[in-house]
A = this chain, B = another copy of it.
Amino acid sequence: MKILVLGSGTAARHPDRSAPACAAATGPAPQAERTHSAIAVSDDGERWVLLNASSDIGQQLRATPALRPRADGQRPIRAVVLMDAHIDHVAGLLALREGPPLTVVATPAVFEDLTTGLPLLNVLQGYCGVRWQALPVAGECGRSDFVVPGVPGLAFAAFAVPGAAPPYSLHDGLEQPGDHIAVQVEDLRSGLRLFYAPGPVPRTGPVQACMRGADRLLVDGSAWPEAAATARDPVGPRVLIHVQPPMPAPRAGAAAQVELAYDGMEIEL
């Protein structure tokens, strides 16, 4: 499985250029500026699944030739999985409005938000067209396994995680399962698994079980060093994404196997 970090930052529009980076994290020199967090995953490097369509997607696509439309008109981006309906994670859908119909994988709560308060999916119908692949994480159902058509080498699982709906949501103030998800991606050839949670995760239950079994964690850097505690040992190497400087230094001993994601980071799993 190939993983591309398209953006590694938080929603803050104006990062502090002078902020010190996480002192104990490993990896290349930290970026002074980061675009909004989003990643892409692929089984073969040719067909990709986007996890969030960030509002910086224009800049991110310009920096990522692998994701640009092909000469044959086919989209390298076969689907977009939405982790929630917050503006910074969905506004980029508008930039994907040219080409063949776009497959959007989203929970009922997110689908409702994007067809009512901020009806981006309705708007896209007037351009490329949208195929909504419903992700039944709602009510009592806190987990849903799914595959993306055209990307046979990857198996996905979505988990309900905490988080409020956006202010424009019709159900703003009434947090409901499916407003936010975390996603596990498994490479079916190798069996290796990525767990992607760019926001808060519950401290117990099936999400923790999945995180413990993951071969790579991409977790919320804005909550560091708390993030270190949310995945109990043994876990695979952690990569912090959704980073807002300044980063406090992690506690002694907690920095082992912690990397700071950066825009353009490539992970092979």
Contact = CB atoms under 8 A, between A and B. Distances in A.
Interface stretch (A51-59, A186-194, A240-248): A51-59
Chain A: interface secondary structure? loop
B13 A95 contact: yes
A123 B127 contact: no
Contact of A123 (B68, B118, B123): B118
Interface string A100-126: 000000000000000001111011001
Contacts of A36: 58
Given A87-B94, A123-B117, A126-B168, A59 B56 contact: yes
A212 interface: no
A210 B111 CA distance: 47
B126 A167 contact: yes
In which size bucket is the chain A interface?
20 to 34
A68 B14 CA distance: 7
Interface string A163-199: 0001110001000000000000000000000000000
Contacts of A127: 167
Interface centre among A13, A33, A91 (most CB of B within 10 A): A13
A168 B55 CA distance: 20
B126 A69 contact: no
A59 B59 contact: yes
A56 B127 CA distance: 19
A62 B17 CA distance: 10
A61 B14 contact: yes
Contacts of A126: 166-168, 172
A62 B55 CA distance: 13
A64 to B, nearest CB: 11
A98 interface: yes
A58 B61 contact: no
Interface in A238-268: none
Interface of A: 13-14, 33, 35-36, 55-56, 58-59, 61-62, 68-69, 87, 91, 94-95, 97-98, 117-120, 122-123, 126-127, 166-168, 172
Given A91-B94, A118-B123, 7 more contacts: A13-B95, A13-B98, A56-B59, A91-B95, A117-B122, A118-B119, A122-B168
